[in-house]
């Protein structure tokens, strides 16, 4: 145990004393926090729907009035109402034209931004000098034309437009009472956290494998295996890599969650679906996500011991990577069928429970015994992966040259037992 602690400390220092690692951690955390603080300092109302910046003075408003775009209209069917146009186009200054030639001339000379000639109750012509991609004037004018028609028809028949509008647009109030899980709102947390733990496994798992292989390629292993047991070495290395990964991910995620919490109002709660994660979901993530991460970290460590050069690692971990990818896609696909049989089975397998059981806890119906059983299976499997990893590590550490196939390694272990 003492030797394990010595290895753990030394390996942790390797990560935490690495300038690139620490700078990357701080940079990612700062970048995430800065992005979430943006709405406090920059008007992002167009994106967030929340206006945070104070409006300027009334003088500026008058100035804004002068700066409004000029649109001309010609009403050939006596149907247009200017108050409707002003309501639909608040940023536009409307001017009535005497004839169609005036409309065309004003647009051609770019005195006016656009011109409309209403030729009938349901038809009009639109004049613009250059039509841009963002030109939505006809959509707005269509809406205004419909309003003109309704108002005109109601007036001619003596109907009350407001009464008719109220009849069609009756407001409906709904109060949702979700008694267990709200899958719709929890879906995105789960999606986000499944991706997060997948990244954690793949990125840091690879780092752990590289760290194990490096000791073979620089031959430090020759001295190490004669100084302590392979168990202390592998457990120390893997757990140090796991801690470093959790530390980096924790700092970045922590900074993002805190920054969002502080600026939630400014964001209008629009990122709640990703970043306002309930405590129990985070707790399930901590147990299952980290358990799965550790399970795979040991296997990555063992795969690293099977090769002598870092360039061979990708070949060595390809089988493991395939399992991780299949589990990842299955987990994401099954999120929409959270109480289905497939996800139920997957939630008990140690290769997939890290994402599926925690998704079931967040979104579906799951009995406490199922959670306990699944976690026990994961914990025992993680321990077994550690012991198997250490055996492969012991067998593979002093074998240099060509990469050892995992099947060969397992056969060799079986034979030696």
Residues lying near other proteins in the complex (CB under 8 A):
3, 6-7, 10, 13-14, 215, 218-228, 398, 412
Q: Is the CB of 113 or the CB of 215 nearer to other proteins?
A: 215
How far apart are the C-alpha atoms of 391 and 301, rounded to whole Å?
11
Nearer to other proteins, 77 or 214 (CB): 214
> Residue 268 in contact with residue 46, Cβ under 8 Å?
no
User: Between 238 and 378, whose beta carbon lies closer to other proteins?
Assistant: 238
Q: Least distance from C-beta 2 to other proteins, angstroms?
A: 8
Question: What minimum distance in Å lies between the beta carbon of 312 and other proteins?
Answer: 18
Q: What is the rounded distance in angstroms from the CA atom of residue 354 to the CA atom of residue 229? A: 30
Quote the least distance from Cβ 298 to other proteins, whole Å. 21
3-state helix, strand, coil in the chain (%, to 5): 70, 5, 25
Instruction: Report which DSSP code applies to 312.
Output: G
Is residue 321 a contact partner of residue 399, using CB atoms and an 8 Å limit?
A: no
Closer to other proteins by Cβ: residue 358 or 393 = 393
Helix ranges (DSSP H) in 306-405: 313-316, 318-334, 341-346, 353-363, 368-397
Residue closer to other proteins by CB (options 230, 291) is: 230
The least distance separating other proteins from the CB of residue 228, rounded to whole angstroms, comes to: 5
Residue 309 CB, nearest approach to other proteins (Å): 14
Q: State how far the Cα of 205 lies from the Cα of 200, in Å rounded to an integer.
A: 8
| Closer by beta carbon to other proteins, 219 or else 315 | 219
Q: CB nearer to other proteins: give 10 or 149.
A: 10
Within a 10 A sphere around the Cβ of 290, how many other Cβ atoms? 18
115 membership: H or E segment, kind and range:
strand 114-120
Q: Which helix (H) or strand (E) holds 36?
A: helix 19-41
CB closer to other proteins out of 130 and 218: 218
Q: Contact, 88 vs 307, CB < 8 A?
A: no
Q: How far is the CB of 13 from other proteins (least distance, A)?
A: 8
Q: Which is nearer to other proteins, 95 or 310 (CB)?
A: 310
We find the least distance from the C-beta atom of residue 376 to other proteins, in angstroms, to be 33
Q: Give the shortest CB-3-to-other proteins separation in angstroms.
A: 6
**Cα 175 to the chain's mean position, in Å?**
29
Least gap, CB of 387 to other proteins (angstroms): 17
* Shortest separation between residue 220's beta carbon and other proteins, angstroms: 4
b/e 222-238 (16+ beta carbons within 10 angstroms → b): eebbeeeebbbbbbbbb
Q: Which is nearer to other proteins, 225 or 271 (CB)?
A: 225
Contact between residue 300 and residue 208 where contact means Cβ atoms under 8 Å apart: yes
Of the pair 32, 304, the CB lying nearest other proteins is at 304
List the end-to-end C-alpha distance of the chain, in Å, as a whole number.
Answer: 25
Going 153 to 159 to 162 to 164, the CA torsion angle's sign is: negative
Q: CB of 241 within 8 A of CB of 211?
A: yes
Cα separation of 193 and 199, whole Å? 10
Rounded to a whole number of angstroms, the minimum distance from the CB of residue 226 to other proteins is: 4
Cα gap 184→173, rounded to integer Å: 20
Q: Where are the alpha helices (DSSP H) in 306-340?
A: 313-316, 318-334
Cα–Cα distance, 201 to 316 (Å, whole number): 16
């Amino acid at each position: 145990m003492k030797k394990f602690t010595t290895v753990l400390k030394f390996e942790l220092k390797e990560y935490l004393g690495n300038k690139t690692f620490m700078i990357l951690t701080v940079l990612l955390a700062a970048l995430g926090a800065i992005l979430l603080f943006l709405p406090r300092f920059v008007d992002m109302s167009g994106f967030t729907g929340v206006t945070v910046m104070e409006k300027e003075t009334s003088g500026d408003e008058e100035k804004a009035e002068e700066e409004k775009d000029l649109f001309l209209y010609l009403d050939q069917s006596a149907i247009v109402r200017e108050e409707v146009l002003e309501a639909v186009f608040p940023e536009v200054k409307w001017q009535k034209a005497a004839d169609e030639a005036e409309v065309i001339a004003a647009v051609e000379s770019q005195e006016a931004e656009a011109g409309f000639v209403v030729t009938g109750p349901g038809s009009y012509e639109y004049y613009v000098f250059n039509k841009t991609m963002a030109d939505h004037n006809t959509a707005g004018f269509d809406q205004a034309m419909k309003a003109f028609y309704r108002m005109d028809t109601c007036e001619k028949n003596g109907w009350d437009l407001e009464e008719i509008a109220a009849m069609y647009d009756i407001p409906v109030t709904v109060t949702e009472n979700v008694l267990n899980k709200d899958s719709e709102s929890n879906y995105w947390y789960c999606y986000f956290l499944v991706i997060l733990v997948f990244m954690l496994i793949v990125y840091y798992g690879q780092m752990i494998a590289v760290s194990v292989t490096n000791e073979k390629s620089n031959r430090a292993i020759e001295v190490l295996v004669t100084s302590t047991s392979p168990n202390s070495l592998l457990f120390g290395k893997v757990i140090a890599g796991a801690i470093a990964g959790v530390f980096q991910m924790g700092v970045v995620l922590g900074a993002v969650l805190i920054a969002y919490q502080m600026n939630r109002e400014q964001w209008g709660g629009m990122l709640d679906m990703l970043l306002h994660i309930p405590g129990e979901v985070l707790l399930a993530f901590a147990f299952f996500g980290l358990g799965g991460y550790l399970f795979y970290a040991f296997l990555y460590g063992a795969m690293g011991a099977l090769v002598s050069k870092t360039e061979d690692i990708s070949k060595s971990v390809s089988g493991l990577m395939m399992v991780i990818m299949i589990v990842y896609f299955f987990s994401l696909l099954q999120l929409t069928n959270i109480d289905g049989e497939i996800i139920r089975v997957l939630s008990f397998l140690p290769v997939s429970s890290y994402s599926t059981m925690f998704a079931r806890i967040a979104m579906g119906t799951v009995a406490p015994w199922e959670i306990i059983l699944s976690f026990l299976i994961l914990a025992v499997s993680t321990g077994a992966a550690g012991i198997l990893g250490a055996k492969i590590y012991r067998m593979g550490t002093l074998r240099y040259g060509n990469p050892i196939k995992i099947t060969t390694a397992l056969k060799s272990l079986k034979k030696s037992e």
